[in-house]
Structure 1
Amino acid sequence: MNLDQFISRAAGHGPCVGVHREMPSPLAAPASVEVRTVDGALVKTLDGLYDAFAEVWHFPPWFGRNANAFNDFMRDLDNMVQTATGRQQPARGYVTDVTNAHLLLIEQPEAFSWFANKMAFYRDYYRDELSPPAAFGLLLSAPADKRHEVRERWMSVGIQVAEVDV
């Protein structure tokens, strides 16, 4: 599926996690979709994950850097993006593109299942509770020889993973 199809399906009941081929430049955002890129080399630990997501999604200075605070702010991307950018119209989607995804939480594998299983929770929030509704998705890219490993890691904790052509 292409990126627009992924976002459309993520806005419904389809997969909200997708893998795509490694790209030499950042992912181009479709119209009215906020896309942020996080380098997996920076998110090998929970502290790194909290820091990277806080930076790209404009978490406020009082972000508590723990799982509960992370869950709260991941469900407030609309307000944080609007405040940071000054845009008045809400986005139709919020997508984080993790490059070098084979390194994501690699130094704290016990945290991976928690993180992976929160993706559908965030997707459901943006679909069911946000007004107007929006898509939520996480895209993963890795070197060609690591993509299968990335997909299998996510599937091993029960996450449906889409193949996305970007």
Structure 2
Amino acid sequence: MSPGVNDFLRATLHGGPAIALTSARLRNPGSGDPGLVARRIDGASARTLPGLFEAYAWAWDFPGYFGGNKDAFNDCMTDLDDGRFSPAGGTATTGFLTVVTRAEQFLADAPPADRAWFAQSQAGYRDDYRTVNAYGADRPVPLQFGVVLHTDLSHLRTVTDRWRAAGASPAVLITNGKD
């Protein structure tokens, strides 16, 4: 049986895939974890790397000086736990999730090398967040980190093949509509 979103995220703490694919309806991804900070991105707005940078910068509130390049993106993605995001009710942050809707369009116009970079970088961010005090970060506990690529069933094979070709080993999720 394939895992749901919450199981996928818990597995990232132990080196599980940083990218997951699903065609199941996601109402409130990660809703079983009040400490999870989640954002959505429309894959249609991120068909190229510059589009991805813009979509992520808006969704994750990157600082105004974000340079719109791979190095700046890496810096911003590894600083999500800098205190900008606080879950409701004062709960401690337990992780970060990006849900990409219309994933069949996500980086669809980008060269394969850009998709490979994205896949590799997500695994790096996962490893960074699951490591206590990684690179001098004040991170006393491991945090979950993942990306869920959501598409409709008719595009699931194409999206799966695209990301496997990019070097990702994505988890395939099922959900019960609650996570």
TM-score when scaled to structure 1?
0.90
Percent of residue pairs bearing the same amino acid type: 32
Q: Does 1:131 align with 2:156?
A: no
In structure 2, relative to structure 1, the CA distance for the partners of 1:18 and 1:123 (3 Å cut) is same
Per-residue displacement from partner, 1:80-122 (whole Å, max 9, x unpaired)?
xx32558765411101000111111112224111111111100
Checking the alignment, whether the CA contact within 8 Å between 1:78 and 1:90 is kept in structure 2 is no
Q: Which residue of 2 aligns with 1:63?
A: 66
Q: 1:151 aligns with which of 157, 160, 163?
A: 160
Q: Does 1:19 align with 2:8?
A: no
Q: Which residue of 1 aligns with 2:117?
A: 114
Q: Which residue of 2 aligns with 1:83?
A: 84
Q: 2:49 aligns with which of 29, 32, 46?
A: 46
Tell me how far apart the structure 2 counterparts of residues 55 and 4 of structure 1 sit (CA, whole Å): 24
In structure 2, relative to structure 1, the CA distance for the partners of 1:22 and 1:3 (3 Å cut) is closer
The DSSP-based 3-state class of the residue aligned with 1:78 is: coil
In structure 2, relative to structure 1, the CA distance for the partners of 1:9 and 1:24 (3 Å cut) is closer
In structure 2, relative to structure 1, the CA distance for the partners of 1:22 and 1:100 (3 Å cut) is farther
Runs (5+) with no aligned partner, structure 1: none
User: Which deviates more, 51-60 or 125-134?
Assistant: 125-134
Q: Which residue of 1 aligns with 2:11?
A: 9
Q: Which amino acid aligns with 1:68?
A: D
In structure 2, relative to structure 1, the CA distance for the partners of 1:2 and 1:37 (3 Å cut) is same
Tell me how far apart the structure 2 counterparts of residues 62 and 4 of structure 1 sit (CA, whole Å): 33
In structure 2, relative to structure 1, the CA distance for the partners of 1:86 and 1:163 (3 Å cut) is closer
Deviation at 1:148, TM superposition (A): 1.1
Tell me how far apart the structure 1 counterparts of residues 46 and 162 of structure 2 sit (CA, whole Å): 16
Checking the alignment, whether the CA contact within 8 Å between 1:26 and 1:37 is kept in structure 2 is no
Checking the alignment, whether the CA contact within 8 Å between 2:120 and 2:168 is kept in structure 1 is yes
Checking the alignment, whether the CA contact within 8 Å between 1:58 and 1:84 is kept in structure 2 is no
Runs (5+) with no aligned partner, structure 2: none
Q: How many equivalent residue pairs?
A: 164
TM-score when scaled to structure 2?
0.83
Per-residue displacement from partner, 1:51-95 (whole Å, max 9, x unpaired)?
11011111110111100000010001111xx32558765411101
